Structure 1
């Protein structure tokens, strides 16, 4: 019997961001609204790409709220 293992990974990329007038509820630092992209790869070949907006903390990197 032959068993194949393929590498599947997912990467989040922040394209650009702008500061907003709110703070993170976890670390009380400033937050940014950012254009995010999620890239899913199978054997290092991208096969799914999704773009979305999120409110991200600039210190701890937590995603506070996401929009589709």
Structure 2
């Protein structure tokens, strides 16, 4: 018996934020630097976690720049 399971789930969470000088290029509001955590699951089993930094908008939530 062969069972195929192709359920992939990816979640992003913001751990910490700090305000940054400047504004969003899309809406013109303020921006912040955030420590992000991305978790990827395959068939409900977590197999990859990645921590990274990003500059995100405080109003529209757009990711303006990412750092590894």
After TM superposition, is the score higher than 0.5? yes
Q: List alignment gaps of at least 5 residues for structure 1.
A: none
Aligned structure 1 segments of 4 or more residues deviating by more than 6 angstroms = none
Q: How far off its partner does 1:7 sit?
A: 1.1
Q: How far off its partner does 1:3 sit?
A: 5.9
TM-score normalised over the length of structure 1: 0.89
Q: List alignment gaps of at least 5 residues for structure 2.
A: none
Contact 2:21–2:31, Cα closer than 8 Å, also in 1: yes
Q: How far off its partner does 1:4 sit?
A: 2.5
Aligned to 1:19: 19
RMSD (Å), alpha carbons: 1.5
Aligned to 2:6: 6
Alignment of 1:1-68 (within 5 A): 4-68=4-68
* Number of aligned positions between the proteins: 68
TM-score normalised over the length of structure 2: 0.89
- Equivalent-residue separation in structure 2 for 1:5 and 1:43 (angstroms): 6
